[in-house]
Amino acid sequence: MDGIIYTIPYVLLTLFFGGMAYALHITPEEDEDRKRYILVATVFVFLWFFGLRGYILSDWISYYPYFYYVEWSDVFGLTQGKDGYEPGFAILTMLCKSIFNSYLFYSFVLSCINTWLLVRFMRRYTDNVPLTLMLYVVFEGIIISTNLMRNSIAIFIFLNAIPYLEQRKIVQYMSLTILAATFHVSALLYIPFYFVFHLRLNRWIYLAIFIVANIAFLKHISIVLTLAEFLGLDESMAEKVRVYTEVHDTGTKISIGYLERLMTGGLIVLYYNRLKEIRPSSAVFINATLAYLCFFFFFSEFAVVARRICTLFAFGYWVVWADLIKVFYFRNNRLLFCAFITLYAVMRQIGNCHYPDYDYDNVITGMKSYNERIYIHYKTFEEP
């Protein structure tokens, strides 16, 4: 029963964004004031929820002590731990610390930066920000905004580099990507995608890649092990990879999450040409969704690594799912798809947010102390 209680704030947040999305949808095109009020209310609630959150999930366990011991001398320490994190993140941390020596203030400032970058991206690429924010919190957004303090800024900086990818302005794109990497080095993975994300793949090429990825996933084909053997790594290394993937094999591969990914890939194939008509920049977001699916399917044996890499490309989901609503010709089909999105969003939040670490509290309405939350975390996940 406690698990269900933990999910309530996340379900309500999701439904609120869905309600604001519908309110914006029925707003007359000429009513700019109402549109503005809806956008402001949506962003305000988003920032309230994430910016003023207490100690939820687990990354704060690392960042809370880091905030208090980091010094300017640690700015260029690139290793995790007492030596510091990436220099951009360390500089931002020190600036916040210099203004007000409070971790909660620091967390709020980071959330403000993230919110501005995220909404800036969404306003450029979507016509319904509340809908896209709903998809955001359903597809990796809760984790990004609460548990990936460094990664989140890196991802959102990259999102604002996408226009330069489309315009083929390599200097601006690479500059922003490298800036993102100063907050989290994983942003360097975006560099090679400058050369491929703008390409409009043939539908059948997309389908072929999607089918191969599914076969690898369902047949438990270890891409990492196959690559290790192909590269001729020594037997001891290959054996370590083999043992790791066998130990971490989770058994059955069929789940609601898998069926959703199968449906997403299938709908993209089915409406591939229509998606291209709706959005001139559709190639970037379709390719990002394909990258998300491929990393998930091909590297599923390394669940944590796969999820971290998939998170870098979740932005494709936020835009493509919003576009899929528009591809249906009949209004009833659009309504049915919207109903499915809402139902799936609620189910996903209930399925993901039922652990004690998700127990939401807020600076304004009252929150548990650092010691209380760290006790709850270790009691839940560390005790045998």
Residues 6+ apart with CB under 8 A from 326: 278, 334
Q: What pLDDT shows up at residue 229?
A: 56
**97 plus 168 within the same structural domain:** yes
Q: Which residue has the higher pLDDT, 48 or 280?
A: 48
Buried b (16+ CB within 10 A) or exposed e, 305-316: ebeebbbbbbbb
Q: Which residue has the higher pLDDT, 37 or 29?
A: 37
Tell me the average pLDDT of the chain: 85
Classify residue 95 by burial, with Cβ atoms within 10 Å: 0-12, 13-18, 19+: exposed
Residues 6+ apart with CB under 8 A from 65: none
Instruction: Indicate the range of 210-214, 234-238, 294-298, 304-308 predicted with least confidence.
Output: 234-238
325 occurs within a structural domain: no
**160 plus 186 within the same structural domain:** yes
**85 plus 122 within the same structural domain:** yes
345 occurs within a structural domain: no
**221 plus 294 within the same structural domain:** yes
Pick the last residue of a domain from 313, 344, 367: 313
Pick the last residue of a domain from 313, 332, 362: 313
**pLDDT for residue 208 is more than 90:** yes
Q: How confident is the model at residue 192 (pLDDT cuts 50, 70, 90)?
A: very high
Tokens in use for 205?
């090429």
**pLDDT for residue 100 is more than 70:** yes
DSSP codes, 5-65: HHHHHHHHHHHHHHHHHHHHHTS-TT-HHHHHHHHHHHHHHHHHHHHTB-S-SSTHHHHHH
Reported as a single tens digit per residue, the pLDDT across 49-75 is 999 999 998 888 889 998 988 887 767
Q: What pLDDT shows up at residue 58?
A: 85
Q: Which residue has the higher pLDDT, 382 or 363?
A: 363
Q: What pLDDT shows up at residue 375?
A: 86
Reported as a single tens digit per residue, the pLDDT across 173-184 is 999 999 999 999
Closest CA to 353 of 137, 42, 115: 137
- Per the confidence metrics, is the pTM higher than 0.95? no
**27 plus 94 within the same structural domain:** yes
Count: domains in the chain: 2
The half-sphere exposure of 163 on its side-chain side, counting CA atoms within 13 A, is 10
Q: What pLDDT shows up at residue 120?
A: 96
**165 plus 203 within the same structural domain:** no
Q: How far is CA 234 from CA 227, 230, 241, 371, in A?
A: 12, 11, 11, 47
Mean pLDDT value of segment 123-134: 93
**95 plus 19 within the same structural domain:** yes
Instruction: Indicate the range of 111-115, 204-208, 242-246 predicted with least confidence.
Output: 242-246
Report the alpha-carbon distance of residue 189 to residue 177 in Å, rounded: 9
341 occurs within a structural domain: no
339 occurs within a structural domain: no
Instruction: Indicate the range of 116-125, 137-146, 295-304 predicted with least confidence.
Output: 295-304
Report the alpha-carbon distance of residue 107 to residue 93 in Å, rounded: 10
**pLDDT for residue 338 is more than 60:** yes
334 occurs within a structural domain: no
**93 plus 156 within the same structural domain:** yes
Mean pLDDT value of segment 307-325: 91
Mean pLDDT value of segment 206-235: 73
DSSP codes, 61-76: HHHHHHHHH--GGGTT
**181 plus 33 within the same structural domain:** yes
281 occurs within a structural domain: yes
Report the alpha-carbon distance of residue 314 to residue 142 in Å, rounded: 12
Reported as a single tens digit per residue, the pLDDT across 235-274 is 554 454 444 444 444 444 677 888 889 999 999 999 998 8
Mean pLDDT value of segment 22-48: 92
**pLDDT for residue 76 is more than 80:** no
319 occurs within a structural domain: no
Q: What pLDDT shows up at residue 286?
A: 93
The half-sphere exposure of 365 on its side-chain side, counting CA atoms within 13 A, is 8
Pick the last residue of a domain from 289, 313, 337: 313
**15 plus 153 within the same structural domain:** yes
297 occurs within a structural domain: yes
Report the alpha-carbon distance of residue 258 to residue 264 in Å, rounded: 10
Q: How confident is the model at residue 231 (pLDDT cuts 50, 70, 90)?
A: low
What is the domain range of residue 214? 196-313
Do the beta carbons of residue 229 and residue 310 sit within 8 Å?
no
Tokens in use for 222?
């270890």
Task: Return the bridge partners of 170, or none.
Answer: none
Q: What pLDDT shows up at residue 237?
A: 47
Q: What pLDDT shows up at residue 191?
A: 94
**161 plus 297 within the same structural domain:** no
**183 plus 206 within the same structural domain:** no
Q: What pLDDT shows up at residue 320?
A: 93
**pLDDT for residue 127 is more than 70:** yes
Q: How far is CA 227 from CA 177, 231, 274, in A?
A: 28, 6, 36
